[in-house]
């Protein structure tokens, strides 16, 4: 005679051996589904591990929950070539020195041309206007041949 179906859950223990010899011990809660006639797992929780060569269960560190970062707030930011050149100019003081020596408009043009030459590997200036479309520079307007012609 078969055991009567009660609908209760069963708490069991499952041990999983790893290649290094450690055994991880899980507590598993199962239930029986009468419709499919199968047992399914409701939940599974890691109790700890048994290190190779020992017999006692050692608790493992708790699993990190979503949003838990250990007190560190981080942000992800895309940094490109022009961002790095801008940072170098600020930290080294070159930007401040150029702005102190020339008018604001001329200084921004010179810094933009210098960043273009460094970033493009020394390309000729007629290509600067198209390069400036994809790379933010200190001088916001387009640097055409007329603009850098008057500057020089």
Q: In what order do the strands lie in the sheet with 10-17?
A: 10-17, 23-33, 38-50
- The confidence score (pLDDT) of residue 69 equals 60
CA 103 to CA 97: how far, in whole Å? 11
CA 107 to CA 137: how far, in whole Å? 12
Least confident of 2-11, 62-71, 102-111, 143-152: 62-71
Question: Would you state the structure tokens that stand for residue 108, as one six-digit string?
Answer: 């921004």
Q: What is the mean pLDDT of the chain?
A: 87
SS3 of 6-59: CCCCEEEEEEEECCCCCEEEEEEEEEEECCCCEEEEEEEEEEEEECCCCCCCEC
Question: Would you state the structure tokens that stand for residue 69, as one six-digit string?
Answer: 């970062």
Q: How confident is the model at residue 94 (pLDDT cuts 50, 70, 90)?
A: very high
Q: Which tens digits make up the pLDDT trace of 129-141?
A: 888 888 888 988 9
- Phi/psi at 96 (nearest 5 deg)? -65, -40
- The confidence score (pLDDT) of residue 107 equals 93
Q: Which tens digits make up the pLDDT trace of 119-132?
A: 888 889 898 888 88
CA 16 to CA 7: how far, in whole Å? 27
Q: Which tens digits make up the pLDDT trace of 20-30?
A: 999 999 999 99
Total residue length of the chain:
152
CA 141 to CA 118: how far, in whole Å? 20
Does the pLDDT value for residue 16 go beyond 80? yes
């Amino acid at each position: 005679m078969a055991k009567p179906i009660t609908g209760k859950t069963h708490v069991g223990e499952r041990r999983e051996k790893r290649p290094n010899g450690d055994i991880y011990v899980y507590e598993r809660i199962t239930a029986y589904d009468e419709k499919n006639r199968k047992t399914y797992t409701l939940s599974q929780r890691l109790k700890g591990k048994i290190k190779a060569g020992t017999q006692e269960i050692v608790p493992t560190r708790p699993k990190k929950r979503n949003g838990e970062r250990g007190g560190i707030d981080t942000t992800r930011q895309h940094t490109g070539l022009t961002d790095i050149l801008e940072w170098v100019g600020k930290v080294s003081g070159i930007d401040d020195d150029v702005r102190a020596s020339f008018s604001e408009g001329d200084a921004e043009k010179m810094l933009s041309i210098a960043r273009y030459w460094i970033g493009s590997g020394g390309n000729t200036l007629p290509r600067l206007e198209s390069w400036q479309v994809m790379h933010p520079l200190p001088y916001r307007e387009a640097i055409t041949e007329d603009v850098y012609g008057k500057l020089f």
